[in-house]
Amino acid sequence: MKRIYLLLFITLFGCSSNKSYVDGQQLEWAEAKSFINSKPTEIDDVFQAHSLHINILLKNGDVLKTKERHIDEIFAVLRKCGVPCKHIGWITE
């Protein structure tokens, strides 16, 4: 019986992700949106280029990179995030 509880515990809590990112890491667009919504307090600014490339500038000085599918999509993500993302600066070229 203890094995069942241990297996259940590992399944429920062992799979939770505290994924760490490295400076300059390229993220898939879906993962970048998830990061913005789940960890907005770690973000200072987002920068959007005309090429659809996005730099997410973190408070620790690191930069995460992604590519949005459509121009200004990053700003729709930030608006939808609402109050938790209100402090994030929007930069565009």
For 25-92, CATH gives 3.30.720.210
- Cα–Cα distances (Å) from 92 to 14, 41, 52, 56, 80, in that order, read 39, 21, 10, 12, 18
Residue 69 confidence class, pLDDT cut points 50, 70, 90: very high
Is pLDDT above 80 for 15?
Answer: no
- Per-domain residue ranges of the chain: 25-92
Q: What is the pLDDT of residue 3?
A: 55
Q: What is the pLDDT of residue 75?
A: 96
What is the value of pTM for the model shown?
A: 0.79
Is pLDDT above 60 for 6?
Answer: no
Is pLDDT above 50 for 16?
Answer: no
Burial state string for 39-58 with b = 16 or more CB within 10 A and e = fewer than 16: ebeebeebbbeeebebbbbb
